[in-house]
Chains A and B, each alone.
Chain A
């Protein structure tokens, strides 16, 4: 019998009631009395010298309050980068200045040049059309290899477009080179991990407010981590101390990584509100989102896998060019390095690995973390090269993987991480069962009879989630700690409020977090309320990304609740005249072990706030505790995915016929929410594999700048998924034994889709097709079949 409450129950998401009935309170729903409206004037060229901005005509237009340009921001800081990577030679990365508004130069289409603030949105927009930037166009640099081979400089002052040249593990390089040189077989694959645009349903919005009575600023923003924004913007950009700055991220309509980062628009509205002494609101249009939200992925990679005659992996070498875009977004440098290179071992016992990454500036929108962030890029190249190796060596791709599986844990990889637990054979066995691999041949015959090609692709994945041990990431260049926090407040009548540093923008925390507390105390989930997203009423937290909320934020909540329970037991012991060591808490009731003496949860809570019969000499009144939790290690979710496709040989159109995912997320709090996270992740992975791709033309214009040309996956593009998370090896180092499930689908699905399409083409006799770059659009697949 599935549980109907607490940990393991598929409790329906309580937040969906307001989301689905239009009662959510998003940033754009926030309107402050007297607010003005901002409209950004953005560069329509990819690269140019900004000689000046003529605002005279615009300033005289109706309703205009003020027009800001880069000159207004010379006295404040630039947008900071949150991670400093050290290169192969021990030197720190090149870190160009990132002004709030462009000054001297424009560096990508969409680079903000000026902002009109006016009484109404239409007035601001009208006046923005009269702002005349004086730009001398420069040749843009778009191709990464050209950029590091003497192409035009994106940032003249740093003298190079190469942000860093990272080697990992540098000491292994010679041994890896030697192993590849002497190997029985080497499989080489060159591929592109396509640039993506996150496209959350809710575009970014920022509302700045300023209170003259106490000289304090408030920013309402579409963020996954309001405390991080408060720290970055307050300390590094505007110089506002945290006690004078409140950042609120209310209901947020999807983030997928692109709402982690601190953006110029946030700093602008906060700055402008103080200058103008009135609130300033900016709401991105969808077109603006395409050219101002940080993009994702965009790697160009060559990977080489060396094997012995028996198919054992001997060594792996990868060379990647990673696009940073025109500026360093908040966590951009960490994505192709520490979130990518450390995952190159995958699920396999490859003894020698060397990863080289060249991060490159180009005249494009900045690139940063997008669902999976670095781990999809690692998984894609590894699982593609293994499939190619299996084909070249004439062995079964599943058996080749099994032969190289890591089977003993903990396992220290040659790329600096230690997997605490996992069972890769178990997820593979489960996958073969739920994907009905045995029935593939019959389905293939049916497809053939209908004139269609059919292919089966599968892959494994591992990811590092639960980001992350602060002391470790500090050594790796993070300019932040990555703990999480929770304050648990028990009210006098027994209800609880959890103020968490995690942020929910679709993950269902308001439902799943109470399930944990309800389980711990033995009370109804509805007695627990989750508060998040406001720096004024939550403890300093690092927010939600990297599948970290339950593993890190949930652990902080557990620790705080443990403190609550320990204190409540002391109160109960006093009232029941017993030793607190003898008090047991079960089903919301405190009992003295071995007796029938008991006290209800609510009676103890009331006693804490009405301490008439209370051990005041030894114990403070009240029942409220805070915990900060810093994880001991990453968590390592893993799994095996299978995709079956049909390909129309006449048009190249790929349809996903079946998709199965067997994941090991450790313990599960809410299976329904986990299913949903996996479904969404797979949809995005299929989107990347078949449809999505940001495309620039030679002039640096974003060709795929709207939904007319950027293909988002739609419901009818996707199959019914078969997902399973019954294989559970609990995380060994967090109190819930959970690993995280938010990114798995997006990490695990692209390789199986591409493997399946290549398999279909190979089976149809297109033996020269060993790879097709994503997205596998009909035109690309058709072209591949033409030889």
Chain B
């Protein structure tokens, strides 16, 4: 069991971030799980999974607290106000399914519109939300800015920024695993930004084989903490 520090702690100043170099570009992996590209004024988040609780209820899977959309948008709001990006990319699985997108509650729609106002907004398609969404912004299956490609699921083509896997990791002394970025010199995988998202341990072979040996994980949480992926140990050989 661990205890976070006193109340003053969480609200201290600007959010910490870890600086990454991807194909010569400087990127900030922030402690809240968002990615900021200062030279482009671009903020990127992945796997929001808005509307998840409603989708689960619709499928007879239980009636979970219906606040995750509100919470995820609040976090996104904070990331946007801290960085004032001119462009925001949502890197896929922004909605738990297309019905969730069309069924978004009124106040969530309004909040989204406010966030979109005055900036470019790009929805990248994911496997959960593979079609166009009627919520403002531009819909693309992938986007390239200079050398960097933004897509939902990683491919062999690098340099690339993707999401989909919801990576998470734990360092000794931590109570439970935290969502994390995975980064090597040519590939970056974003953590899931949404409130109701589970995760895949970085020690899972799917992730381990995708990244190079010198890859690092950047843990989210109070601070962005980089750790060599190799130091996280493996549950398998």
Chains A and B belong together in one complex: no
Interface residues of B (CB under 8 A from A): none
Interface residues of A (CB under 8 A from B): none
